[in-house]
A and B are shown apart, each in its own frame.
Chain A
Amino acid sequence: MASLEQWLVGGSLALPLLLALAVRIWPVLATKRPLLLGVPALTLASFVSLVLLRDEVPLDPAHTGLALDAVARPLLVAASGVVLAVLAALPKRELTRSHVSAILIIYVGGCWVLLSHGVVSLMLGYLVTAVPILTFKEFRARRLARYSQALSLALVGAGLAWLADAAGTTALSALPAVVTARPGAFGLVVLGLALRLGVFPFQSWLVGLFESAPFGPLIMSVAPMSMLIVVERVITPTVAVTLGEVPGASATLLVISAALAAGMVVVQTHLRRALGWFVVSLHSTIFLGVLDPNPLGHMGGLAMWAASTLALTGFAIVIWALFTRRGDIDLREHSGFHDQTPTLAASFLLFGLACVGLPGTIDFISEDLTLHGSIAHHPVLLVGFLTGVSTLGYAVLFLAFRIFLGPRPPQLVDVRVPDVGTRERAVLVLLGALLLGGGMAPQSIARPLTDGIVSDNADTDGPPHTDTAPLHEAGGAAH
């Protein structure tokens, strides 16, 4: 007999999927915004209630490989917030069945990945999140993105299958124990993930995707960063068991990726491509945080993941709003939109800086945790990491000044650019309130993540879940 929690989780996955199918069959449903918002609102409510319940929810893991653990709960809430925001911000002309169904399917795939504790279910979710974005014909980088996604899928799938073969089970929690026997398989997983997250030097497809992919599905596939769950469930425990700290080479690569991508934002000629590099830098930073086996740094990484999901969504929605008004903004000259779009300008600054730890937002706390926890073990890399964060902050202000300030070029003098509409304003205010509210009461974010680590320690007979025991053993010695 299924429990209430199982019904909540199952319904949260099934409803959006059914809506996506219904939209494919009856395209007119794609224009019914109350329906489109109602379903994600329900899923958001159910995930929030699951956070409050704080129970481990096995979803028949023997057959499905799914379970709701404490780490996944806040991330699922964040992902539901993203889909709600994206569907609310979707411009009227993009209320088509292809856009809406792609957004919903990517969302379901992302949630599936976050719930996955088995290799098969994880790869299924991976496939579902990767494919819809590739079905759009309008973006140029399609071939590169297709190859990259396929290669990433193959590498991660092959690596996990190889490890599962050695472990004799497909449960993700069993894989870290056999990594020493199959180091090559572990390498494949890491490489595949680096490719999926667009870490330098594998970023070309992601940056290309940002240049021309439709915004709604793009935000949905990038902002929740659901594939980081593989890092959380396989790679970090492995690192904790075998090495005790992040390997120097990986940390160096991620720091270089974060710093270099942040610098690249400043030399871009167009806004969408700049956003692509921004995301590469952010992904690298969060990857490094989640990868850290030190409990403090790891918790900071997880908090940064949840917080950046919201901040990045807000930032991308502002850029999307600019794109629908003026197309891809030319960054080689000032556009001077501030007088006409003060709310967009303020939102751009708020969300952009929130991604890099603006005081008062949740990211300030998560960045603080990450720095205190992880980087202290790599003092030399500390400067590199901070350079990346600082450059990214500078890049946000650079972009804001280019877009909103300065004299208007002759071709834009008579152009009227409308500020945010009521619907967009509501989305931005809500996201901003969440970020600032979370910054004022960060315990609301920290508590579920803390519970995650504590419950992992206490419950050894439960369903397959993240094996973070080495993390907890080290916990008391953090400071």
Chain B
Amino acid sequence: MMSIGLTAALGVSVLAVPVAAFVLLALLSVLPGRRSERLITNLVTGALMLSWLASVATLVSAWGPVTHGGLSVPLGSWFSVPGYSLQTVILLDLPGAVFMTLTTSLLILVAVYSGRYLHREPGFGRFFLLLLLFAIGMLAIAAGGSLDIVFGGWELVGLSSALLIAFFHLREAPVRHGLRAFAVYRACDVGFLAGVVLFHELTHSSVFSEAFPALREHLSPFALNGVALLFVLAAMGKSAMLPFTGWLPRAMEGPTPSSAIFYGALSIHAGPFLLLRLSPLLEHASVARGVVVFVGALTALHATTVGRAQNDIKSKLAYASVAQVSLIWVEVGLGFTTLALVHMAGHATLRTWELLRAPSFLRDWRARETLRGPASKSVRHVLPQAWRDAIYRLTLERWYIDELGGFVVQRVRGFLTALDGLDRALAAQLERAPLPAVETVETVEARRALEREGEVRRGLS
């Protein structure tokens, strides 16, 4: 049986080893010259393996009596001023240990896979650096014993996610989609930050082990639901729940291994994991739990229908992931936390395998058809043709959610552009200078489109 001290040391090393590897790799990348791919892969894989060993040991101890019910390991005060202290605390409990083990296991798999998949790719070192940054973020979410630590990890996951979507940056689409994903993350992070501040304000602590016991005694249902809903908003963004689903299929522009680990396996499950972590809060917030169930169910319907209309394998897998994560949301909302944890681990593993196999999907499909014959007919003939057309159109357009979002963004952008024009005009007036003619992004894009059209016509003629 492991002692508390040993368990705590193992829990800390789960997070510390990737941090050390990240610092080492960052220092190596600053030095002039080129590092060998083997060195980078071995360094990252080795660090992740050490972290995995520690996380497995933590998982074993989490079932034992030492950490039964969760072991909160205080690592001291990060900083403190009169009236406030930010505590560095690691929480070693069963959900956290499962998530840590899952994270390290899948990351090792992806690191090994990526060593070959990205062979001779110009951004080889950058990919592994970002992978480690992501690992640190995910492990901080899994092991964080206070909301501040979890938030730090949450931010790192968002940043590394956006940078990895834009990995193939010589094309415009990955860059645009990376930015889109980050925009959604930032918008939803408002909920997380507000939640952290209000949670601390109400319970006088961000440390889970201190704050949760105080919940029922001191807080009104209104406050509990309000704070819980803020965290639900944050989790909605990370898990691509409605109405934030649009970024996920676009995020598949990144390298396949990162798509697998981010949007199939881990990052997308960070949302439900946060809700699991905050389940003592949700227990007392019935309205928030209702919202979790409703959002999950609606997104499941959305992802299932829209996924059927996708015509590429990665988008199809993305919507399949969303559908499963939505079901996990429903489970969390209904209070089936153990089921949600098992579902999460199973789904993450399966989806990683599917996404890593995605490049060979057609070959797999044909092999399956050869063995079993063609796939069975669906029940599509049950509905009348007009209904089928309408539903197909709706799913093809992804329920018009992107259009709605685009409309809002365009209006805000238009307002800000107008305001900027006003500012320029006012400044020019005060300077008594002629107003400079400025092309906006929209006019530049329109002009480019016309130029391209002209070039095509000239080419045809």
Contacts and interface: CB of A to CB of B under 8 A. Distances in A.
Contacts of A394: 182-183, 186
Contact of B83 (A205, A263, A406, A476): A476
A339 B122 CA distance: 9
Interface string B147-170: 010011101100100100010011
B312 interface: no
A289 interface: no
B2 interface: no
A382 B155 contact: no
Contacts of A375: 197
B39 interface: no
A376 B197 contact: yes
Interface residues of B, number: 58
Contact of A204 (B30, B182, B427): B427
A332 B432 CA distance: 27
Contacts of B162: 397
A450 B190 contact: no
Contacts of B178: 401
A263 B419 CA distance: 11
B126 to A, nearest CB: 8
A77 B410 CA distance: 44
A267 B438 CA distance: 12
B116 interface: no
A358 B186 contact: no
Contact of B155 (A144, A339, A358, A429): A358
Interface in A202-225: 203-205, 207-208
Nearest to B154: A359
Interface stretch (A15-23, A315-323, A363-371): A363-371
Interface in B55-92: 78-84, 86
Contacts of A364: 152
A249 B204 CA distance: 28
Contacts of B217: none
A455 interface: no
A338 B169 contact: yes
A143 interface: yes
A221 B389 CA distance: 64
Nearest to A432: B30
Interface in A449-479: 449-450, 453-454, 475-476, 478-479
Nearest to B162: A397
Nearest to B417: A267
A208 B80 CA distance: 40
A360 B175 CA distance: 25
Nearest to B159: A353
Contacts of B284: none
B444 A332 contact: yes
Nearest to A405: B169
B199 to A, nearest CB: 11
A34 interface: no
Interface in A29-59: none
B430 A204 contact: yes
B350 interface: no
A383 interface: yes
Contact of B198 (A204, A379, A387, A393): A379
Contacts of B198: 376, 379, 382
B363 to A, nearest CB: 32
Contacts of A295: 82-83
Query: Which secondary structure characterizes the binding site on chain A?
Result: helix
Nearest to B129: A346
A368 B80 CA distance: 12
B441 A446 contact: no
B172 A407 contact: yes
Nearest to B412: A263
Nearest to B204: A479
Nearest to B158: A393
A296 interface: yes
A6 interface: no
Interface in A136-152: 140-144, 147
Interface in A372-430: 372-373, 375-376, 379, 382-383, 386-387, 389-391, 393-394, 397-398, 401, 404-407, 429
B83 A478 contact: yes
Contacts of A268: 420
Contact of B175 (A140, A383, A406, A429): A406
Contacts of B40: none
B253 interface: no
A360 B23 CA distance: 12
Contacts of A476: 82-83
B431 A479 contact: no
Contacts of A453: 82
B170 A407 contact: yes
Contact of A359 (B156, B197, B420, B433): B156
Given A269-B438, A379-B198, A443-B79, A401 B430 contact: no
A386 B151 CA distance: 14
B201 A269 contact: no
Contacts of A336: 169-170
B43 interface: no
Contacts of A24: none
Given A140-B433, A394-B182, A401-B175, A371 B193 contact: yes
A60 interface: no
Contacts of A359: 151-153, 155-156
Contacts of A158: none
B179 A397 contact: yes
B197 A475 contact: no
A165 to B, nearest CB: 32
Contacts of A296: 81, 83-84
A218 to B, nearest CB: 17
Interface in B429-460: 430-433, 438-441, 444
Contact of B152 (A208, A339, A360): A360
Interface in B297-350: none
Interface string A185-217: 000000000000000000111011000000000
Interface string B7-43: 0000000000000000000000010000000000000
B84 to A, nearest CB: 5
B169 A406 contact: yes
Contacts of B190: 383, 386-387, 390
Contacts of A332: 439-441, 444
B444 A333 contact: yes
A144 B430 CA distance: 6
B93 interface: no
B338 to A, nearest CB: 31
Q: Which 3 A-B pairs have the closest CB atoms?
A: A478-B83, A359-B152, A405-B169
14 contacts: A203-B423, A267-B441, A296-B81, A296-B84, A365-B78, A369-B81, A372-B201, A376-B198, A386-B193, A394-B183, A406-B170, A406-B171, A450-B81, A478-B83
Interface of B: 30, 78-84, 86, 122, 148, 151-153, 155-156, 159, 162, 166, 169-172, 175, 178-179, 182-183, 186-187, 189-190, 193-194, 196-198, 200-201, 204, 412-413, 416-417, 419-420, 423, 426-427, 430-433, 438-441, 444
Interface of A: 140-144, 147, 203-205, 207-208, 260, 263-264, 266-269, 295-296, 299, 331-334, 336, 338-339, 343, 353, 358-360, 364-365, 368-369, 371-373, 375-376, 379, 382-383, 386-387, 389-391, 393-394, 397-398, 401, 404-407, 429, 442-443, 446, 449-450, 453-454, 475-476, 478-479
Given A333-B444, A371-B193, A401-B175, 16 more contacts: A143-B430, A203-B423, A204-B423, A260-B416, A264-B420, A267-B416, A267-B417, A269-B439, A343-B30, A360-B152, A364-B152, A375-B197, A376-B197, A382-B194, A386-B193, A406-B171
